[in-house]
Amino acid sequence: MAKQTKKKKSIGWEYAPAPESLAQANIAKRYDHFIDGKWSKPSGGEYFRTTNPASGKKISEVALGSNADVDKAVKAARAAYNGAWGKMGGRERGKYIYRIARLIQERAREFAIIESLDGGKPIRESRDVDVPLAANHFFYNAGWADKLEYAFPNRQVAPLGVAGQVIPWNFPLLMAAWKIAPALATGNTVVLKPAETTPLTSLKLAEIIEDSGLPKGVVNIVTGAGETGAAVVNHEDVDKVAFTGSTAVGKLIQRSLANTDKRITLELGGKAANIILEDAAIDQAVEGIVNGIYFNQGHVCCAGSRLFVQESVYDEVMWKLKRRMETMIVGDPLDKNTDIGAINSREQLRTIKRYLKAGQKDGAEMYQPACDLPSNGNWCAPTVFTNVSQSSRIVQEEIFGPVLAVQTFRTVPEVIEKANNTPYGLSAGVWCDKGSRLFQITGSLDAGVVWGNTFNQFDPASPFGGFKESGYGREGGLHGLAAYLDM
Ligand code: NAP
Ligand code: MG
């Protein structure tokens, strides 16, 4: 095993540290739930810490949601649905959603800093990806609020009622936007439960919602752990459940809702194939591999965690990939030069380390570049496994860390079969110079999203979602709106 303590080789020049100033981040010592337009103390009086995964230090504490808190939030959401919000026309609803989008843009820097502080992702990503995309989801959905009859012609559309939404820690603000924006555009009300380790940007979003003047009770945010999430999805007065998270919890939710008439969408795990053909532009493809798996520490459901390289270009791709990995900067998420930030939690780091051991035990060869990892906090060097077998756990299971498993192939039918040989079906990527071949392959992959000569590109107008154990239902685009409508 390559030692992570190995001193990083000098590349002849270094970046000077460029950390973001924390002066912009206005974080309270303690946060209550946001229910019925007010900050509401937890009924049990309990709070839990949210920490900075790059240092292990406490940032703030947030309310621990009980069944009673969730009940209060659902009642507020129902009252708003039966009251002002339910009676409001699409044009008026749209104005509020636009206002939320603009307020996110105005406070973009603060959101980016808090996202990186609470979750560990590099500031470059929170600033350039998460926050602008979150604002764009509100803009996009705001535009549809008064045009639903054009979005779904010849249909009588009606909102579903109260939506119970539970989100994970990898894109905290963006996932909140994915969930809240289409629900509001279609006239529903919301109870949202953010992830335990990353509640802060959802609570900052609650501040924006307060500032936007949105009628009380339309959006309620209850913080807590898995039990709080279970209370939201199982509440009898919730009409629609939207869950993003692991396949294991998604299955639990599906089971517990089997006897109800609640509408469900599940966005679950993934194990994406990233396929490099011999005629691909190799330098671009290597950047795509790096972006596909090391982006956001591999805490990405659609991460390109299985790499398939055509045999004739294997040596070239691996040489370029390893050379590129050597230049990656792992460290302070708030530093603008950082490529790989902190692993979100100690538990997640333990999980990743278990997979690193499992990969080696299965006989795969592990490579990590020399990295100066900080001594405190949760860190993992970018890792690539070669000589892996199709049956190895690192090929079959979602790791959710910066760990890539590489396999080779000779022919197109062979790679299609290998790529589809997984219980998941969320995303995939294909790198190839010839358009016709690219479309032949993309059309044969069982994946909800397939990128051609790029990876990890998102757009609010484009539906996102999976096949097989990656869940069902789509978020984004018109499909995302349809999931919140009766028609
Ligand atoms: P997770 O453990 O399933 O948690 C997701 C959310 O569900 C969290 O808010 C969690 O609360 C809550 N939760 C836990 N147990 C619950 C229960 N029994 N009932 C209701 N809610 C419950 O997943 P995660 O580890 O946070 O996130 C990583 C997973 O999300 C990966 O598998 C990833 O692929 C998937 N993901 C999928 C997409 C997609 O669009 N397909 C996008 C992002 C992530 P706590 O925080 O307290 O555990
Ligand atoms: Mg945290």
Q: Could you tell which of 170, 267, 351, 397 is best to mutate to test the pocket of ligand 1, judged by most ligand atoms within 8 Å of the CB?
A: 170
Q: What is the mean pLDDT of residues 65-93?
A: 98
Place of tokens 């994406």: 272
What tens digit of pLDDT does each residue of 132-178 get? 999 999 999 999 999 999 999 999 999 999 999 999 999 999 999 99
Token pair in block for residue 129? 């990806």
The catalytic residue among 301, 302, 371, 432 is 301
Residue 2 predicted with pLDDT over 50: no
Q: How confident is the model at residue 14 (pLDDT cuts 50, 70, 90)?
A: confident
Is pTM, for the whole model, over 0.85? Answer: yes
- What distance in Å separates the CA atoms of residue 486 and residue 190, rounded to the nearest whole number? 16
- As its CATH architecture, domain 273-460 has 3-Layer(aba) Sandwich (3.40)
pLDDT band at 372, cuts 50/70/90? confident
Is 91:145 a contact under the CB 8 Å cutoff?
yes
CA distance 242 to 263: 8
Which ligand 1 atom is nearest residue 470's CA? 41
pLDDT category of residue 7 using cuts at 50, 70 and 90: low
pLDDT for the residue 9 = 61
Query: What average pLDDT does range 419-442 have in this prediction?
Result: 97
Using alpha carbons only, give the angle 256, 191, 184 rounded to the nearest 5 degrees: 115
Average pLDDT over residues 341-363: 98
At position 303, the amino acid (one-letter code) is A
Instruction: Report the separation in Å between the CA atom of 29 and the middle of ligand 2, taken as the mean of its atom positions.
Output: 14
Residues of the chain with pLDDT > 90: what percent?
Answer: 95
pLDDT bucket at 6, cuts 50 / 70 / 90 = low
The 3-class secondary structure across 197-220, one letter per residue, is CCCHHHHHHHHHHHHHCCCCCCEE
Q: Quote the CA–CA distance of 3 and 49 in Å, as a whole number.
A: 32
Residue 12: CB atoms within 10 A of its CB come to: 5
Q: Is the C-alpha dihedral spanning 334, 62, 73, 88 positive or negative?
A: negative
**pLDDT band at 21; cut points 50, 70, 90:** confident
What gap in Å lies between CA 57 and CA 486, rounded to an integer?
A: 46
Task: Report residue 383 as tokens.
Answer: 């890792």
- The number of C-alpha atoms within 13 Å of 247 and in the hemisphere containing its C-beta is 19
Banded model confidence at residue 5, pLDDT cuts 50, 70, 90: very low
Average pLDDT over the chain, rounded to an integer = 96
The answer for residues whose C-beta is within 8 angstroms of residue 278's C-beta and 6 or more apart is 310, 312, 313
The fold adopted by the segment(s) 32-268+470-486 is Aldehyde Dehydrogenase; Chain A, domain 1 (3.40.605)
| pLDDT confidence of residue 176 | 98
Q: 468: alpha, beta or left, given left = phi > 0 and alpha = psi -120 to 50?
A: left
The span from the CA of 252 to the CA of 234, in Å, is: 11
**Residue 23 — pLDDT band, cuts 50, 70, 90?**
confident
Residues 87-139: tens digit of each pLDDT: 999 999 999 999 999 999 999 999 999 999 999 999 999 999 999 999 999 99
Q: What is the pLDDT of residues 242-276, one digit of tens each?
A: 999 999 999 999 999 999 999 999 999 999 999 99
CA of 118 to the centre of ligand 2 (A): 4
Ligand 1 binding pocket, CB closer than 6 Å = 166-170, 193, 195-196, 225-226, 229-230, 233, 244-246, 249, 252-253, 267-270, 301, 398, 400, 426, 466, 470-471
How far apart (Å, rounded) are the C-alpha atoms in residues 204 and 436? Answer: 47
- Residue 241 sits at φ, ψ, to 5 deg, of -115, 125
| Helix, strand or coil, per DSSP, at residue 420 | helix
The domain ranges of the chain are 32-268+470-486, 273-460
DSSP class of 460 = T
**Per-residue confidence (pLDDT) for residue 8, from 0 to 100:** 66
- pLDDT tens for 272-303 read 999 999 999 999 999 999 999 999 999 999 99
- Give me the mean pLDDT over the 215-233 stretch: 98
Single-letter amino acid code for the residue at 105:
Q
Q: What span, in angstroms and rounded, lies between the C-alpha atoms of 195 and 190?
A: 16
Provide, rounded to the nearest whole percent, the portion of the chain with pLDDT above 70: 97
* Helix (H) / strand (E) containing 108: helix 108-119
Question: What is the reported pLDDT for 332?
Answer: 96
- Tokens 């192939």 label which residue? 409
Which pLDDT belongs to residue 124?
Answer: 97
